[in-house]
Structures are given as C-alpha cells and as structure tokens.
C-alpha cells in the first residue's frame, strides 16, 4: 500500500472520535489518546468533563468523524447517557461550524479489516473482543501507530475514523483497495457549510 493524495490544497486536519462514557477515543492520522474521567464521576459532571476535553481537541479541526450508535444496544446500561453525550458533542461541533461525519461501527470495521465481521471464525462469545484487537492490529500494521495501555481499543477506533475522513476528503495517508474503501459509502458525510469558507471548500473539493 502506497502513500497517496488525490486532492489539491492544504492537508486538512481531521479528528476521529469514538465516544464513550468511560474512555473516549480521540485521534488524528498519526496520534491517538483516550479521554478517561476520574473514577466515580457520573451524570452531568461526567458529560461536562467529556465535552470540555473533546472540544479542546477538536476546536481547530476541518472535519470531525464521529462513530455513531450501534443499533440493537439500546437496552444496555448507560445507553441513554451516551446518546446524550453524542448530541452534546455534535451540537457543539455544529455551533462552532465544524463539519462532522457519522460512521456506523460496521463501516469502521470494514475500513480497518476489509470485512464486517473479521472474527466470525471465533466463538460467538469472544468475537467482539477479537474484532477490536484486529482493528488495533490494523492501525499498527498499516499506519505504524501502536495503541497501547488503557483505552487502547478506543484509540484505535478513533484513528480509523480519522483516516476515513482523510480518505473521503481526497488526502488518504495510505492507498487502500476498494474492499476497504467501500466503507466510505456507508457514512453520513457533511454537507458544505457555505461557499467560500476553507472547511466548505475542503468538503466541496473532495476527491478532486
């Protein structure tokens, strides 16, 4: 796989976000971090902490790529609060005129591994955990970024999201086969924010 770029102009700053109440992954193409609130922090205080920490990382972004909810998880503990965090973060992006994309988890996995269920040969009870490890391995092998320590899977997911955004804008770091890039078609990408703005031009000129 070779380094490539299909778009003219400056390289955009794209940030990936894998939102979580306990460990939010935030990443660019060549770095990743996990935002982890203090143990015992709950409710409004935890949401406010996340919003402030996330805003500090994305304030200069040209595009933010956010992982969307996994359908079928609505009954899980914390889902209501996590949905609230998603809306708080995307509302803040909207307020700051920062374009954002919403990526279904399955599309993130396809972009990382080439298939929707890379761990299907493993027992059902461990597939989700094994698949997370495979995404992490893909980040290390493809981009040379080791996601270690607490929140390592969240970091890896966020890194993949950032690379999806760079690819969509025509500035991929690595030239991937269509088997992986087909995931881009399943993403809710942003509409231009207004003619003439730098961010709008990045969106309008993607792939040129």
pLDDT in tens, 121-174: 999 999 999 999 999 999 999 999 999 999 999 999 999 999 999 999 999 999
Q: Please check whether residue 6 lies inside any domain of the structure.
A: no
Whole-angstrom Cα distance, residue 1 to residue 176? 6
pLDDT at 75 over 60: no
Q: Please check whether residue 97 lies inside any domain of the structure.
A: yes
pLDDT for position 78: 78
For 1, residues 6+ apart whose C-beta sits below 8 A from its C-beta are: 142, 174, 175, 176
pLDDT for position 5: 54
Q: Please check whether residue 4 lies inside any domain of the structure.
A: no
Q: Please check whether residue 2 lies inside any domain of the structure.
A: no
Q: Please check whether residue 7 lies inside any domain of the structure.
A: no
Whole-angstrom Cα distance, residue 115 to residue 100? 24
Residue 139, token pair as written in the block: 């980040």
Residue 71, token pair as written in the block: 């359908």
Q: Please check whether residue 177 lies inside any domain of the structure.
A: yes
Give the domain range for residue 144: 14-204
More confident residue, 2 or 203: 203
The mean pLDDT value of the chain amounts to 89
Domain count for the chain: 1
- Give the domain CATH number at 49: 3.30.420.10
pLDDT at 201 over 60: no
Q: Please check whether residue 9 lies inside any domain of the structure.
A: no
Q: Please check whether residue 144 lies inside any domain of the structure.
A: yes
More confident residue, 194 or 143: 143
pLDDT for position 73: 52
More confident residue, 100 or 3: 100
pLDDT at 61 over 90: yes
């Amino acid at each position: 796989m070779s380094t490539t770029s299909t778009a003219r102009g400056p390289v955009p700053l794209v940030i990936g976000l894998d939102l979580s109440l306990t460990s939010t992954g935030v990443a660019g193409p060549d770095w990743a971090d996990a935002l982890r609130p203090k143990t015992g922090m709950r409710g409004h205080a935890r949401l406010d902490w996340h919003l402030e920490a996330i805003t500090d990382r994305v304030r200069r972004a040209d595009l933010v790529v956010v992982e969307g909810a996994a359908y079928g998880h609505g009954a899980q503990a914390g889902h209501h609060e996590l949905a609230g965090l998603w809306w708080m973060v995307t509302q803040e992006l909207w307020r700051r005129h920062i374009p954002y994309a919403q990526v279904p988890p399955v599309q993130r996995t396809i972009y990382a591994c080439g298939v929707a269920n890379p761990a299907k040969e493993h027992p059902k009870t461990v597939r989700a955990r094994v698949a997370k490890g495979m995404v992490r391995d893909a980040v290390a092998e493809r981009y040379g970024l080791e996601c270690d320590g607490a929140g390592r899977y969240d970091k890896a997911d966020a890194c993949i999201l950032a690379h999806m955004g760079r690819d969509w804008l025509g500035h991929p770091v690595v030239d991937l086969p269509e088997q992986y890039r087909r995931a881009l078609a399943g993403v809710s990408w942003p509409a231009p924010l207004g003619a003439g703005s730098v961010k709008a031009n990045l969106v309008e000129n993607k792939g040129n």
